[in-house]
Amino acid sequence: MYKNSIIYIAGHKGMVGNAIWRTLNAKGYTNLVGASSKDLDLRNQKAVMDFIQKTKPDVIIDAAAKVGGILANKNFPYQFLMENMQIQNNLIDIAHRSAVEKFIFLGSSCIYPKLAPQPLKEEYLLTAPLEPTNEWYALAKISGVKACEAIRKQFEKDFVSLMPTNLYGTHDNFDLNSSHVLPAMIRKFHEAKQNNNAVVVLWGTGTPLREFLFVDDMAAAVVFALENQLPDYLYNVGTGQDLSIKELAAMVQKIVGHTGEIIWDDTKPDGTPRKLMNVSKMNAIGWKHQVNLEDGIQKTYTWFLENIQNFKQKNY
């Protein structure tokens, strides 16, 4: 890979895409290409084809997706399935039919079965039923993984899929209706702190175990995949370490400085009991995470405070 190679980052305005862009820019890559959703609708096949023919990228990194937490997945199953398939299918197929040398597809740990053995290995894909609370998104991502595998197998092209664990960090989504657990906690604890340390109500029992990866570490994994020809089609990306949601809540509460009560609403779903990634394949070829969870949450909260004017505040 050359520093002047044309690299198109789909979804460069999102948390992951932004981190990839910043990391590549810092490493001296000079031909980064991006287009906002206002300028390019990735669900539109002709629009994507025209854009790829115009920009002629050497590499496409697919960090674009319709994402959200349990509530969003529950309320909009069709959009999570169809729009994600439209986005990735257009990018993958047009990359295959164009002179794109390398394609990096980003998925999610939710592609693995709900009750798969822990920690999750890549070979557990499609061995048992998915977690119902996010199966629509998972199905879309599985189809992307298999499409990249098929192209790699049939046409011997360098298409690779990276499956990150739960990501968090700067430029995250802090909307309480659509955000994931960690940014939602940061916002809830912050707003409760501002409201005389009001009670914070969190979903579920707090017992599920989860793994979290700082987004800059994910970006480093993408750059590693960019600069090396990975020998297999699918790799997990994570820390290989997890903690309970209750432990996470205590950590976020401490960092934010909230001193009020936490109430767990056990009428709400917990989701998968445990979701820990086996990252031995990525570790074996030379990549390992660098940012520990407490430091990552502190960096994220600092960024949240610096950008708080961009978030609508909840009315009490």
| pLDDT digits 0-9 by tens, 87-109 | 999 999 999 999 899 999 999 99
Residue 16 in marked binding region: yes
pLDDT reported for residue 73: 82
In this structure, what token pair is assigned to residue 147?
Answer: 């499409």
Looking up tokens 């990634």 gives: 277
pLDDT tens-place string over residues 288-311: 999 999 999 999 999 999 999 887
- Enzyme catalytic residues: 137
pLDDT band at 276 (very low <50, low <70, confident <90, very high): very high
CB 121 within 8 A of CB 278: yes
Distance CA 107, CA 221 (A): 13
> For the whole model, what pTM was predicted?
0.92
Residue 121 in marked binding region: no
In this structure, what token pair is assigned to residue 57?
Answer: 């990228």
Higher model confidence: residue 272 or residue 97? 97
pLDDT reported for residue 313: 52
End-to-end CA distance of the chain: 52
CA dihedral for 43, 46, 49, 54, sign (positive or negative): negative
Residue 167 in marked binding region: yes
Residue 102 in marked binding region: no
Q: Is 209 helix (H, G, I), strand (E, B) or coil?
A: strand
Higher model confidence: residue 99 or residue 286? 286
In this structure, what token pair is assigned to residue 246?
Answer: 């209750």
Q: Stretch 51-68: mean pLDDT, rounded?
A: 94
Q: Stretch 37-58: mean pLDDT, rounded?
A: 97
Residue-wise DSSP of 121-165:
PGGGTTSSPPPGGGHHHHHHHHHHHHHHHHHHHHH--EEEEEEE-
SS percent in the chain: helix, strand, coil, step 5: 45, 15, 40
pLDDT reported for residue 316: 33
pLDDT tens-place string over residues 171-189: 998 988 777 899 999 999 9
Residue 14 in marked binding region: yes
Does position 63 have pLDDT exceeding 70, yes or no?
Answer: yes
In this structure, what token pair is assigned to residue 141?
Answer: 């991502």
> Among residues of the chain, what percentage have pLDDT more than 70?
98
CB 8 within 8 A of CB 57: yes
Residue 270 in marked binding region: yes
- Which of 5-9, 109-113, 238-242 has the least mean pLDDT? 109-113
pLDDT reported for residue 177: 76
Q: Which domains does the chain have, with CATH numbers?
A: 7-173+211-240+275-291 (3.40.50.720)
pLDDT reported for residue 312: 60
